[in-house]
């Protein structure tokens, strides 16, 4: 009787010791918390970009400036997200609620179409528009007149 109890106790203790600690995410070997956070952030931004291209860009524009043909045809005035001030007064929660519920002519992102984490990825992606605005066209140098010179 004593041997089965000892064996069972040993198995239970081994199972408890081998179980991962609750609340800790597994990390890749050799990467610190910063490296894995960057990888998660990059993956989330990539997912946000994918969803944005599918569901948002047709109105808000590929670069988030709100100047798409569809927006013009529908006579919509949309914020220019490449301007840092445009989203500066909106919290992530406000953006989340706006995307989830929709507003005016903007349809909602229903839960079956976009999970909460995917909407958070869209928010990360659109917040980057103002951090990486499109480069201004390079100025073309003017050529000086060379009249009267011979070559």
- Coil, strand or helix at 21: coil
- Measured between alpha carbons, how far is 18 from 149 in angstroms, rounded to an integer? 87
The domain in which residue 57 lies consists of: 38-132
pLDDT (average), residues 82-102: 92
pLDDT (average), residues 128-143: 59
Going from the C-alpha of 141 to that of each of 135, 136, 144, 146, the distances in angstroms are 18, 15, 9, 15
Chain segment 7-21, per-residue pLDDT in tens:
445 444 444 544 444
Q: Is residue 5 included in any domain, yes or no?
A: no
| Total domains in the fold of the chain | 1
CATH number of residue 94's parent domain = 1.10.760.10
Mean pLDDT of the chain: 74
Q: Which pTM was predicted?
A: 0.60
Give just the sign of the alpha carbon dihedral 74, 101, 52, 80.
Answer: positive
Q: Is residue 3 included in any domain, yes or no?
A: no
Polymer length in residues for the chain: 151
Percent of the chain with pLDDT over 90: 39
């Amino acid at each position: 009787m004593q041997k089965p109890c000892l064996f069972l106790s040993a198995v239970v203790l081994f199972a408890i010791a081998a179980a991962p600690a609750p609340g800790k995410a597994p990390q890749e070997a050799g990467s610190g918390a910063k490296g894995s956070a960057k990888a998660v952030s990059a993956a989330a931004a990539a997912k946000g970009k994918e969803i944005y291209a599918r569901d948002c860009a047709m109105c808000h524009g590929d670069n988030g400036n709100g100047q798409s043909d569809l927006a013009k045809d529908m006579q919509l005035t949309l914020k220019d997200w490449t301007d840092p001030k445009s989203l500066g007064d909106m919290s992530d929660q406000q953006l989340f609620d706006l995307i989830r519920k929709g507003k005016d002519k903007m349809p909602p992102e229903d839960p079956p179409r976009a999970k909460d984490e995917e909407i958070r990825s869209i928010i990360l992606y659109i917040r980057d528009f103002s951090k990486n605005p499109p480069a201004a066209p390079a100025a073309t140098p003017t050529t000086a007149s060379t009249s009267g010179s011979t070559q």
